[in-house]
Amino acid sequence: MALIVKKFGGSSVANAERVENVARIVTDEYKKGNGVVVVVSAQGDTTDDLIAKAKEINPNASKREMDMLLSAGEQISISLLAMAIEKMGYPVVSLLGWQAGFHTDSNYTVARIKKVESERLKAELARRNIVVVAGFQGINKYDDVTTLGRGGSDTSAVAIAASLKADRCQIYTDVDGVYTADPRKVKGAIKMEEITYEEMLELATLGAQVLNNRSVEMAKKYNVELEVLSSLENKPGTIVKETVKMEKMLIRGVAADKNVSRISVVGLKDHPGTAFKLFNALGNAKINIDIILQSVGRDGTKDISFTVSADQCKEALAAVEKMQDSLKYSKIVHDETVAKVSIVGTGMETHPGVAAKMFEALYDQNINIQMISTSEIKISVLIDAEDADRATNAVHAAFIG
């Protein structure tokens, strides 16, 4: 008997018909004699709708109460899926995150899994139950409900697969695999048979939302092979694993991230310690900084610009405002209408001219670059959000065709 973990995203369980479709996929696996754990997300746009409801009442709601609210979405989908499986005549039990043993830290809304105590899961599997688990949630040391950050159900599935040493971990979604760019936005995006953890992690971190980046990080750490596949079409998807047979391509994929804001602190003193003070304050406020650009000092002052995720823009601005007395900058400017477009590929390490080719593709489209950041296996540019789709298509065409 094999043990299979299957995860279904929001669109795969969006309505009764889709829930019944998932019940069929799950019971087909169970009928083969395999143990099945199913992780599900909230239905359709439920999580977005819940966030909107919260904003209506209190835009500054505490993160603890946000988690209490958001975890409700997954509670609905696990019970509905279990009901659909019951109706088909199979033994099934639904479990919330805490019942399935998910222990997390206390960073509400972006909690990290500390461990999965899998006794209950194992006991249910031993009884030959199909186990349906609420993704995206856990419990902290105060017995409070926590959530894992947007897209966190992928990580729940990988955590269960790792802790149960499952034979397979399948991530079902609304596309049939991982493509060289978002197939909904980029004409000619190509489906990959396989991709390495390393490249998938970069793509996911840089905005390819098909897999949550923490789920890839965890899959790599515990060597859980993932398959990304469609819940609507019965065909092989994309395998994510340590090494792949495919020839090394110069560029593996292009990703775009519109959830970005740029903040510029203008007129800082041009002397030692300025950057330290600024980023120390941001670090203490738990703000993740992405690209940083410092201007050359002139007349004793300089400017520092950086990007943060759009969700943290307000908090970042507040943290910088608190530093006015000590940093004595002249003003802060911010822009929430920016996007980051990136290319990823381990092949670029050994090929000169990759950056020039990317910038040429943008120049041909008359797209202005505001910031640039590079590593061995990626190049990112910050541009106007309204240019993002055009830029992604142009860069994809230049490298992948």
Query: Which residues contact Mg ion by CB under 5 A?
Result: 9, 151
Quick one: which of 149, 183, 267, 297 contacts ligand ADP (CB under 6 A)? 183
How many binding residues for ligand ADP (CB under 6 A)?
A: 19
Q: Which is nearer to ligand ADP, 183 or 267 (CB)?
A: 183
Q: Which is nearer to Mg ion, 42 or 93 (CB)?
A: 42
Q: Is the CB of residue 254 less than 8 Å from the CB of residue 394?
A: no
Is 151 an interacting residue with respect to ligand ADP (CB under 6 A)? Answer: yes
Residue 321 CB, shortest distance to ligand ASP, in Å, is 30
Q: How far apart are CA 294 and CA 311, in angstroms?
A: 23
Window 133 to 162, contacts with ligand ASP (CB under 6 A): 135-136, 150-153
Q: Is 373 exposed, middle or buried (0-12, 13-18, 19+ CB in 10 A)?
A: middle
The span of 54-62, 91-99, 172-180, 326-334 binding ligand ADP (CB under 6 A) equals: 172-180
Q: What single DSSP character describes residue 117?
A: -
Is 395 an interacting residue with respect to ligand ADP (CB under 6 A)? Answer: no
Q: Which is nearer to ligand ADP, 224 or 287 (CB)?
A: 224
Q: Is the CB of residue 195 less than 8 Å from the CB of residue 244?
A: yes
Pairing of strands 226-230, 378-384: unpaired
3-class DSSP string for 122-176: HHHHHCCCEEEEECCEEECCCCCEEECCCCCHHHHHHHHHHHHCCCEEEEEECCC
Single out the residue of 213, 309, 196, 204 nearest to residue 262, CA to CA. Answer: 309
Q: Which is nearer to ligand ADP, 129 or 180 (CB)?
A: 180
Quick one: which of 110, 208, 343, 379 contacts ligand ADP (CB under 6 A)? 208
Q: Which is nearer to ligand ASP, 148 or 367 (CB)?
A: 148
From edge to edge, which strands make up the β-sheet containing 92-95? 92-95, 130-134, 35-40, 3-8, 168-173, 226-230, 238-241, 194-196
By a kind-dependent CB cut-off of 5 to 8 A, residue 136 interacts, out of ligand ADP, Mg ion, ligand ASP, none, with ligand ASP
Residue 287 CB, shortest distance to ligand ASP, in Å, is 20
Q: How far apart are CA 75 and CA 320, in angstroms?
A: 38
Q: How far apart are CA 183 and CA 202, in angstroms?
A: 18
Window 45 to 64, contacts with ligand ASP (CB under 6 A): 47
Element (H, E) at 362: helix 354-364
Q: Is the CB of residue 268 less than 8 Å from the CB of residue 329?
A: yes
DSSP-derived 3-state class of residue 350: helix
Is 173 an interacting residue with respect to ligand ADP (CB under 6 A)? Answer: yes
Q: How far apart are CA 129 and CA 126, in angstroms?
A: 7
Residue 188 CB, shortest distance to ligand ADP, in Å, is 13
Q: Which is nearer to ligand ADP, 24 or 31 (CB)?
A: 24
Pairing of strands 3-8, 168-173: parallel
Quick one: which of 21, 41, 274, 346 contacts ligand ASP (CB under 6 A)? 41
Is 346 an interacting residue with respect to ligand ADP (CB under 6 A)? Answer: no
The span of 118-126, 203-211, 327-335, 338-346 binding ligand ADP (CB under 6 A) equals: 203-211
Is 44 an interacting residue with respect to ligand ADP (CB under 6 A)? Answer: no
Contact set with ligand ADP (CB under 6 A): 9-12, 41, 151, 173-175, 178-179, 181-184, 208-210, 253
Contact set with ligand ASP (CB under 6 A): 9-10, 41-42, 47, 73, 135-136, 150-153
